[in-house]
Amino acid sequence: MNSQPELQKSLKPRHLSMIAIAGVIGAGLFVGSGAAIQQAGPAILVAYAAAGLVVVLVMRMLGEMAAANPETGSFSAYADKALGRWAGFSIGWLYAWFWIIVLGIEATAGAAIMNRWMPGVDQWVWALILMVLLTLTNVWSVKSYGEFEFWFASIKVTAIILFLIAGTAAILGLIPGVPAPGLSNLTGQGGFMPNGADAVLAGVLVVVFSFFGAEIATIAAGESEHPVDAVKKAVKSTVWRILLFYIGSVAIVVTLLPWNDASVAKSPYVAVIELFGIPAAGTIMDVVVLTSVLSCLNSGLYTASRMIFSLSTRGDAPKAWSRISKRGVPLAAVLASTVVGFITVGLNYIAPDTVFLFLVNTSGAIALFVWLVIATSQLVLRRRTEASGVEMPLKMWLFPYLTWASIIAIVAMIVGMLFVDATRESLLLSLLLGAVVVGIGLWRYRLHHPAPLEHDVEVRAELLEEDAEGHSHNA
């Protein structure tokens, strides 16, 4: 029997629900949506809806696997079972790499905001302070990570809800001094689709990456008190979160302001707040964006470390990285992620337009690779589970038709990236990195096959039984 400490299962349902929300609402919504609106006009709503639909389907598939078998390695562990060890190895390392790169991007974005407020302190110093602060949070305990994420997410959610309420009131003509726009901004500036269908399709490729991060909840579920219930709630709430936060808030922007207004391109949410006559709109949005950045840093470090920990327990990373502290934290994995994160932050200051840009581009299409692996793994594991007669706590809708539709849509987006100037280089570099990692995985596991059905079924049955026992104790 292994007496080594285990991961601390101290994340509560409120932590998991907010981690799921925080994963979807990033700085990309508040800042990046402006460029997307400029690209496609009001029809960007169609792009958000199409990308959101794919994410909802992917999350449902991931939720099915995670509810049946909650694991810290999430989709990487499921790829191990469904497609072979090479697949779990490859997608696990690519995913960890994605979030480590995010650390460099977000630390720099947060430092830029702090530098605007306190220009006497160099930007790189702020980046260092933010990285150290969030590292300490992750090293202390998983509960401290959950608490930070809960409050960061609460600020973001509160800001968006207030924005939605004020925006709806303005559209209805209920705010003094702000005339009701009617449909003038949706149809009067060259029409609803001013730049054609091609711009909308290109918009899908831009906005789809805004939704990446929803899967963090299934990784964190492994450290929650009741993982099966936590996963089911997080997955089921994905639909309304995407509808309300993304499509709802972007709809308010394009209804209240002309899509081709320069202020929309710069910062759409600041532009709307200024329309309401609220003073210091820029500072208010800086606070919200800084919160989003800190949330993303917090989640990025947590997610990268847990994936590296999972890889280590499966023999795909140095064994020392699977050691767990007395507080139930994979300390070595957190520090390993942090060290590489610090390097990427440094590169962003030393060589931002060469080395760092190259590294960022190598992670550009990883979101689509992850979703493709999730869909393919679910296709395989669902058929195995049905053949075994095991009852599943959460099921993908209209299986296998929607699974196949998702796979086709994801492949189409990957191919589409080749034809859009803004995404072509990112796709090619991501494919290059992917080919190298997959090549290493195939070489390592050239004789290994997916786990046998019997093992899969036993593990699932065990976990469902444990969760049922937990409920009976708490009843």
- Residues 6 or more apart whose Cβ sits within 8 Å of residue 177: 277
Residue 241 in tokens: 């979160």
Least confident of 58-62, 189-193, 226-230, 279-283: 226-230
How would residue 438 be classed by pLDDT, with cut points 50, 70 and 90? very high
- The verdict on whether omega for the bond into residue 400 sits within 30 degrees of 0, i.e. cis, is yes
Q: Higher-confidence residue: 70 or 117?
A: 117
Q: For tokens 């997410």, name the residue.
A: 153
Asked if 418 contacts 424 with a C-beta cutoff of 8 angstroms, the reply is: yes
Percent of the chain clearing pLDDT 90 (strictly above): 28
CA dist 16 and 230 (Å) reads 6
pLDDT at 465 exceeding the cut of 90: no
Percent of the chain clearing pLDDT 70 (strictly above): 90
Residue 386 in tokens: 């049905």
Span 282-315, pLDDT tens digits: 888 888 888 888 888 888 888 899 899 999 999 9
How would residue 43 be classed by pLDDT, with cut points 50, 70 and 90? very high
Residue 144 in tokens: 């401290």
pLDDT at 460 exceeding the cut of 80: no
Predicted pLDDT at 15 = 73
Q: For tokens 């809960």, name the residue.
A: 150
How would residue 61 be classed by pLDDT, with cut points 50, 70 and 90? very high
Q: For tokens 């006497």, name the residue.
A: 120
Please give the distance of CA 202 from its chain centroid, rounded to a whole number: 20
Mean pLDDT of the chain: 84
Q: 401-416 and 44-68 helices cross at what angle (nearest 10)?
A: 130
How would residue 96 be classed by pLDDT, with cut points 50, 70 and 90? very high
Span 411-427, pLDDT tens digits: 999 999 888 887 889 89
Least confident of 36-45, 220-229, 456-465: 456-465
Q: Which of 111-115, 227-231, 341-345, 439-443 has the highest mean pLDDT?
A: 439-443
Predicted pLDDT at 85 = 92
Asked if 141 contacts 327 with a C-beta cutoff of 8 angstroms, the reply is: yes
CA dist 118 and 459 (Å) reads 53
Predicted pLDDT at 350 = 86
Asked if 192 contacts 43 with a C-beta cutoff of 8 angstroms, the reply is: yes
Nearest to 361 by CA among 98, 61, 42: 98
25, 347, 402, 463 from 14: Cα distances, Å: 17, 37, 30, 22
pLDDT at 58 exceeding the cut of 50: yes
How would residue 198 be classed by pLDDT, with cut points 50, 70 and 90? confident
CA dist 77 and 145 (Å) reads 23
Q: Higher-confidence residue: 207 or 429?
A: 429
Question: How many H-runs (helices) and E-runs (strands) does the chain carry?
Answer: 23, 0
Q: 227-236 and 13-24 helices cross at what angle (nearest 10)?
A: 40
pLDDT at 354 exceeding the cut of 90: no
- Residues 6 or more apart whose Cβ sits within 8 Å of residue 54: 208, 371, 406, 409, 410, 413
Exposure string for 58-87, b = 16+ CB within 10 A, e = fewer = bbbbbbbbbbbbbbbbbbbbbbbbbbbbbb
pLDDT at 458 exceeding the cut of 60: no
Asked if 273 contacts 284 with a C-beta cutoff of 8 angstroms, the reply is: yes
How would residue 215 be classed by pLDDT, with cut points 50, 70 and 90? confident
pLDDT at 41 exceeding the cut of 80: yes
Residue 405, CA atoms < 13 Å, CB-side half-sphere: 13
Q: How many CB atoms lie within 10 A of CB 455?
A: 11
Predicted pLDDT at 42 = 94
Asked if 82 contacts 453 with a C-beta cutoff of 8 angstroms, the reply is: no
Q: 142-171 and 249-256 helices cross at what angle (nearest 10)?
A: 30
Average pLDDT estimate for 131-140: 86
Predicted pLDDT at 467 = 53
Average pLDDT estimate for 47-52: 90
Predicted pLDDT at 429 = 92
Nearest to 393 by CA among 239, 238, 225, 228: 228
Predicted pLDDT at 5 = 53
How would residue 468 be classed by pLDDT, with cut points 50, 70 and 90? low
Average pLDDT estimate for 230-245: 76
Predicted pLDDT at 3 = 43
Least confident of 143-147, 306-310, 408-412: 143-147
- Residues 6 or more apart whose Cβ sits within 8 Å of residue 392: 64, 67, 68, 382, 385
Least confident of 9-18, 58-67, 239-248, 390-399: 9-18
How would residue 241 be classed by pLDDT, with cut points 50, 70 and 90? confident
135, 363, 384, 434 from 131: Cα distances, Å: 6, 20, 43, 27
CA dist 37 and 48 (Å) reads 10
127 by DSSP, 3-state: which?
Answer: helix
11 by DSSP, 3-state: which?
Answer: strand
pLDDT at 456 exceeding the cut of 60: no
Q: What is the 3-state secondary structure (H, E, C) of 356-378?
A: HHHHHHHCCCHHHHHHHHHHHHH
Predicted pLDDT at 454 = 42
Q: Higher-confidence residue: 382 or 474?
A: 382
pLDDT at 4 exceeding the cut of 70: no
- Residues 6 or more apart whose Cβ sits within 8 Å of residue 461: 390
Q: For tokens 């964190």, name the residue.
A: 220
Average pLDDT estimate for 182-199: 88
